[in-house]
Structure 1
Amino acid sequence: MDTESRNAKTPARDERALWYGLAAAGVAATAVAGGMAVDPRSSWYRSLRKPSWQPPPWAFGAVWTPLYATLAYASGHALGITEGTRRRRLLASVACNLALNAGWNWLFFRLRSPRAGLVGCALLDLSNVELIRRTARVDATTAYTLLPYAAWSAFATGLNAAIVRRNP
C-alpha cells in the first residue's frame, strides 16, 4: 500500500496530537472544576462519621493525579485513532464522564449531600463502564488503562455509601 492510501485510512499525526491535547485539557479542566468544590477541612465534612478504611485527605490527590493522566492518555489515544460516528460517540462518552467526575465534588461537598454524591458516584460508575466499552471497540489495550480509574471510582462509591449509612 502506498503512503497516500495509508494516510487516507489513518488520521494524521498532527490530528492525533490534537486529540491528546484536547483530552488533556478536558481532564485538567475537570480536575480544576471538581477541586474548586472540595473542602475536606470544612466543619461540615469533619463532622461526618466516616468508615475507618477511608484514606486520609492527601491520598485522594495522590491517587487521582495518575488516574487523571491515564484518563487523558486513553481518551486522547482512542479519539485520535477513530473517526466519524464512532469518534463522536466516544467524545460524548468522554465528555459525560468528565462532567460526572467533576460533578460529584459539587454534589457531595458544595451541596453537602452525601446522598446526592452517591447518586453521582453511581452514574460515574455506569459512565466508566460505557467509556471502557467504547474505548475497547477502538483499542482494547488502551481500554485496560482505564480499569484503575474505574476501580478507584467504584471504591469511592463504596466509601460514599458508607458515609451515607453512617450519617442518616
Structure 2
Amino acid sequence: MAIQARTGGLSPAQAAVLAIGAVTAALLIGRRASPTPEHPRTQRWYRRLDKPDYTPPSLVYPVAWTGIQASLAYGGYRLLCAEGSPERTTALAFWAANQVGIAGWSEVFFGHRSTGWGAVASAALGASAVGYVAAASQADKTAGQLGIPLVAWVSFATLLAEEIWRKND
C-alpha cells in the first residue's frame, strides 16, 4: 500500500496551536523591551522622548496589539488549515515574517533605543504587512482581510516613529 502525500493544511488543532503560539511568542518577545512598569529605565527613556501630539495614550498600545494579533492568529489559522498551494505558501511566509517583525521592532526601538532604525523597521514591517494582505487574499480572502488592521496600525506607527526620530535626533 502506497502512502499518499498530504496536500492539505494542518489539522484544526495543529493550526490553532501553531497560530496562537506564534502570535503569543511575538507579543511576549516584543514585550521584553517595551516601556512597561517591568522595564522602568525604558519607560523613563520613552517618556522623555519628544513625541508628536497625535501619539496615542500608553493604554492604547496593548489593546491595539491584542486585537491585531488576534486577527493575525485567526488569519494564520485559516491559512494553516487551507489546502497547499503556492499562494498559501507565500501568504504563510509573509505571515511568519510579520510575526518576526512584530517581535523584533520593540527590541530595535526600545531595546536598542534606536528611533531611526525603529522607523526603518516599522516601514519594513508595513511593507511585509501589505505583502501579507495581498498574498493571503489570493489564498483565503478572509485571511487577507484579517491583515488589514496590521497594515493600518503599522502605517500610523511608521509615521509616528519617523516623527519621533526627527524630533529626537
> Structure 2 stretches of 5 or more lacking a match?
none
CA contact (8 A) 2:88 2:139 kept: no
Is 1:57 aligned to 2:53, yes or no? Answer: no
CA apart distance, 1:9:
9.3
Q: Which residue of 1 aligns with 2:19?
A: 23
Identical amino acids, percent of aligned pairs: 34
- Report the Cα distance in structure 2 between the residues aligned to 1:163 and 1:17, rounded to whole angstroms: 42
Structure 1 runs of 4+ with >4 Å offset: none
Where does residue 72 of structure 2 map in the other structure?
Answer: 71
Q: What are the equivalent positions in structure 2 for 1:128-139 lying under 5 Å apart? A: 128-139=129-140
Q: Does the 8 Å contact 1:79/1:90 carry over to 2?
A: no
CA RMSD of aligned residues (A): 2.1
CA apart distance, 1:21: 2.0
Identify which of 32, 36, 45 aligns with 2:32.
Answer: 36
More helix by share: 1
Question: Contact between 2:7 and 2:84, CA under 8 Å: does it hold in 1?
Answer: no
DSSP 3-state at the match of 2:56: coil
Aligned pair count reads 160
Secondary structure of the structure 1 residue equivalent to 2:11:
helix
> 1: CA distance between counterparts of 2:137 and 2:95?
13
Aligned counterparts of 1:152 and 1:95: Cα–Cα separation in 2: 18
Distance in 2, matches of 1:86 and 1:31, equals 26
User: TM (normalized to structure 1)?
Assistant: 0.87
Query: SS of the counterpart of 1:57?
Result: coil
Aligned mates of 1:98, 1:65 — CA distance in 2: 13
With 14-23 and 112-121 compared, the bigger mean Cα shift is at 14-23
Deviation at residue 96 of structure 1 after TM alignment: 1.1
Contact in 1 for aligned 2:136/2:144 (Cα 8 Å):
yes
Conserved? CA contact 1:51–1:163, under 8 Å: yes
Output one character per residue of 1:54-107: Cα deviation in whole Å (capped at 9) or x when no partner.
Answer: 111111001111111000001110221131544433332221111111111001
